[in-house]
Amino acid sequence: MASNRGKRRSPLAANLMNHAAELRRAFESRWRSTPRVFRAPGRVNLIGEHTDYNDGFVMPAAIEFSTWVAAASRPDRILGVYSENFSEGREFPLDDSAPERQNHWSDYVRGVAIVLERAGHRLRGANLLIRGTVPIGGGLSSSAAVEIATAFALVGISQITLGRTEIARLGQRAENEFVSTRCGIMDQFIACHGVAGHALLLDCRSLEFQLAPLPAGVRLVIGNTMVRRELAGGEYNRRRADCQEGVRHLARSLPHVQALRDVTLAQLEQYGRDLPERVFRRCRHVIAENGRVEQAAAALKDGDMERFGKLMAESHASLRDDYEVSCPELDSMVTIASVQPGVYGSRMTGGGFGGCTINLVREEHVEGFCATVSRLYHETTGRRPLMYVTDAAGGAGEVMPSGSA
């Protein structure tokens, strides 16, 4: 299925170099040296939620909202970091033998430096200026965008050669081991491997992936419910623990089972009925969701967007009822969006408990869709949403070397 999406430059893509030049000027004003500029995108997941840490299948797309890092080396072994979004900075010694998490935004940056060093890559001291356009707390993976942009910057200025998949793994390790969020690899992987105009069908066990071209004339419309995901961290870890409990139980009868990826719905019904009811439902969601991702990939290949949209609806219902990670505002926005003209499908995206929905909308209906959903959602919930329109974007990389104008 051919896509001409790459031929149309969105305003965000068209301003790529301008954005990098502006960040470079801000860096030069702060540190009086000329940096290199790197970026990594946020992501939206079209289908396949809470399957990645169960060795399953996902279908994310990188988006045109990004984290930008301007970076230049310094002569000592200090990492100096300043965030424009938070208007504050920190400094960390790279030779600290016992670094401790500070429960601060800078943990994502420092964690990347720590895992790179522990992996045997000696870093140069550096100053980093960070600017993010990925909405924070919206489930669009602002944290992975910070991690991957930071990793590309530190690797680049330290003249270290690493492949994109290895950088994704290191970003995941930083979040798992230093930030202590037990995320899967999907967010970091799509930030590294995103391709404009495409989603990725990713096997989170083997890390093999296939490009899934999105049809021309379909835009990604993200609806931010403006409900912050305050409970997401602890609840995320509890859901993961439930899945692991299910695996341990099922493996007693099915020795080949290493993750829920290895279980069919029929096997769950046969061997999982004495699981706690909550754990059974968690497992049922993950197993069924893996099947939906594979069916969605086939629907895209066949150009059957109606089928793709139905699978999105099934995914949302399962996340709401079996995995219990939705919330009234997400449900309201999906209900409103699903019946609008030009909509193929709508569902929550990300970890849940607030954040965003993803909607596939015909291009000619996007303006009316955003206006109507915003109005009806506000009337229903009292909250004013934000609507973001994007195409699938390319992955992380260097935007502006230090010698360029």
Contacts (Cβ under 8 Å, ≥6 apart) of 241: none
Question: Closest Cα partner for 97 from 112, 79, 117?
Answer: 117
Vertex 66 angle, CA 62 and 72, to 5°:
130
The angle subtended at Cα 27 by Cα 23 and Cα 32, nearest 5°, is 150
How far, CA to CA in Å, does 316 sit from each of 84, 244, 335, 348, 383?
35, 22, 10, 6, 21
CA dihedral of 30, 133, 22, 164, whole degrees rounded to 10: 90
Sign of CA dihedral 141, 330, 313, 301: negative
DSSP state letters, 148-206: HHHHHHHHHHTT----HHHHHHHHHHIIIIII-----SHHHHHHHH--TTEEEEEETTT
Token code pair at residue 220? 């990604």
Q: Which two tokens stand for residue 17?
A: 């170099």
Closest by Cα among 28, 58, 30 to 188: 58
- As a residue count, the chain comes to 405
If you write DSSP's letter for every residue of 190-247 in order, what string do you get? HHHH--TTEEEEEETTT--EEEEEPPTTEEEEEEE-----TTHHHHHHHHHHHHHHHH
In a 13 Å sphere around the CA of 69, the CA atoms on its Cβ side amount to: 29
Q: Is 387 helix (H, G, I), strand (E, B) or coil?
A: strand
Strand order in the sheet with 386-390: 343-349, 356-362, 218-224, 386-390
Catalytic, 187? Answer yes
Helix, strand or coil, per DSSP, at residue 68: strand
Q: Which of 55, 107, 187, 391 is catalytic?
A: 187
Closest-CA residue to 318 (of 292, 345, 344, 357): 292
Annotated catalytic residues are: 187
